[in-house]
Structure 1
Amino acid sequence: MIKSFPFFTYLLFVILLSGCEYERISTDCSTNAIVLNLQSVENTSCGTNEGEIVVTAEGGDGEYEFSINESAFTKEGVFSNLSSGTYEIVARDAITLCISDPITEDVLNIDGLQITLSQKSNTDCGSSSGSISITQENGLAPIEYRINNGEFQQEATFTGLSSGVYNVTAKDALDCESSISNIRISTGVSLSDQVQPIIIANCAVNGCHNGAQSPNLSVKENIINNASNIRSRTSSGTMPPAGRQDLTQQEIDLIACWVNDGSLNN
């Protein structure tokens, strides 16, 4: 006698056997776009944290959250107590989790050191050939520079950089500081030409993420919306699932480089 099962139990059983992970259907953010608007910027005096950036959002479902320089999202669109520097802000729909394009704004020292990004060179995937160069004005010599949390140096150029996001800070003889945040060194890995073919050949296959279950990874937008999860699972070796051919290290690296570049639709 063949024992029958409820449909949901059968579906769960099939998913477990296939090794594919079930996820909720992703929202099409292209039709639920969030638009971020800059309302005001207040600069600060040298050595103080008196700067402020105010933003609002529109579109989507109308419940918004905001993040500055990749910090945790909050419901407040007013960012106060800012020192001199460059800030990147995004808005997110609290319901759909669709994210706006970022805006980048400078909080300036009213009377002192200012720095700008004068040159940036990207790198190849798996390489460390990127570079960042900074110029300054109004600072009292000597001027020192550091990248991320490194040591200060007198050289205003940083070389040997791998893909990623970098912050540069400068200070002068008066200890007046200025910074630039979220300088991205990219690899140029293409979603259309390099990453999507890997996903379609190995993950968007019969019985897995080819439309039989969510997300359908044969669709470019779903790859973008699930980029972090794809990188995590391919790097850990759980995607493709057991029983299917493993990705090569080069394929894993290409996916990771594309995600580190910002999961671009390129």
Structure 2
Amino acid sequence: MKKNYVIVLMLLSACAIIAIACSKGSDDPPADPCSGVTVAVSGTPTNPSTPGGTNGSINATASGGTGLTYSLNNGTFQSSGNFTGLAAGNYTVTARTSAGCTGTQTFTLTSPTPSCSGVNIIVTATATPGGACSSSTTGSINASATGSTGITYSIDGASYQATGTFSNLAAGSYTVTAKDVNGCTGTTTVNIAAPVAGPLFSAVRTLIVNNCQSCHNNSIANGGMNWQVECNIITNKDRIKARAVDNNPSSMPPSGALAQADKDKITAWLNAGGRYSD
């Protein structure tokens, strides 16, 4: 009986040892599948063929695991390491195994230096002056270029644009630059002339200066009229006709009606359009 008791104790002790061992093993973290694994990425970069071009590529391969997939700049993984349609710049290719182990490599694509030898870009431009005292008081430039392709345009060093039309320009001199797809340029200078007063308006302006401006100027603006400002003459041409030509409701100037020859000058200007350029 004593012998059987000893055997039972021995069996219980063995089970306890096995239970402790099993319990201890269940608390250990799982082994890292990437421990000791090196995923090496290599590849062949191909630079864009033209300045600003987007036909560069990277053909990458990797070793160190199976089921490899590839990602460019943290993008979606794909089965191939071939990436196309790339511009100049820095790119990171990541290779990942089926176990999730990764490796990376950085590639640099460069843009070729443009060669403008033999390229002659000729720029022509026409200027349209603005009309003084009109709804279009600023001028414009319309430029075009020949001698290359992919032309864009800039005025006085501003950002390039697809067309050679520039508007809302004050009178003055401007430099228009045309640039092709390779960065080769051509320039021309164009001048927007200041608006020129027409002879009919000039005659009316002289009449008003001589007869009315003493009472309608920057300091004294009787009736709210300031004839020192040329555009006020155009804005108020109907009032000038009523007072100086029709004498309605009274003549202008107050000293007496204008001579018929002077009235005819105002009428001729109004019949021509009553503009600054008339």
Under a length normalisation based on structure 2, what TM-score does the superposition of the two structures give? 0.32
Q: Which has the higher contact order (CA 8 A, sep 6+)?
A: 1
CA radius of gyration, larger in: 2
